[in-house]
Amino acid sequence: MIKVRPAMPLDAGSMAKLLNEIIEKGGTTALTRPVTGNDLNEWMAINKTSSAWHVALDDTEQVVGFQWISPHEKLPPEACDIASFVQIGRTGLGIGSALFTATAAAAKAVGYKWINATIRADNEGGLTYYQSRGFRIWTIDEGVALESGQIVNKISKRYDV
């Protein structure tokens, strides 16, 4: 059974490990360099009143996914950006659904009207996940250069809370 709760600083190391495995595999995140627990703790500390971070834990209390919302300079103040990560090999098991239930409630509580998800166009799993939550395409950015120099298209989807 999956349990979702707000992320804490002590979760950052496990979250970084999970995210680094996804970054190393490639193809699903715009992040291209490894992160540390300190990086994630710094990110969690930014915009504390307008962000929300959640972790999904399995029966052994291990982090198997995490998700956050935060403001983004390219979005209006009534919108937030979302990022979602599920442990490799554990997708399709309800972890993302459990996380999104908590995240959507947090977005509403913070006062956001809608959530933006920007997904690499070659990330079929991510596109499917957000569509299954009710997100719909509102813009497409073509030829976006990642930090690694790779060029990708990005699809932004919107969910009204």
Query: How does pLDDT run across 9-18, given as a tens digit for each residue?
Result: 999 999 999 9
Give the separation between CA 141 and CA 154, rounded to whole angstroms: 5
The yes-or-no verdict on residue 80 having pLDDT over 60 is: yes
Number of domains present in the structure of the chain: 1
We report the CATH number of the domain holding residue 59 as: 3.40.630.30
Specify the range with the lowest mean pLDDT, choosing from 16-20, 26-30, 36-40. Answer: 26-30
Q: 38 is in which domain, residue-wise?
A: 3-160
Give the separation between CA 52 and CA 82, rounded to whole angstroms: 10
Residue among 52, 145, 64 at smallest CA distance from 102: 52
Asked if 115 and 136 touch (Cβ cutoff 8 Å), the reply is: no
Averaged over 64-73, what is the pLDDT?
Answer: 95
Beta bridge partners of residue 41, listed in sequence order: none
The yes-or-no verdict on residue 28 having pLDDT over 90 is: no
The per-residue pLDDT of the chain, averaged, comes to 91
The yes-or-no verdict on residue 22 having pLDDT over 60 is: yes
pLDDT for residue 19: 92
pLDDT for residue 23: 86
Helix axis angle, 37-45 to 12-25, nearest 10° = 110
Averaged over 95-113, what is the pLDDT?
Answer: 96
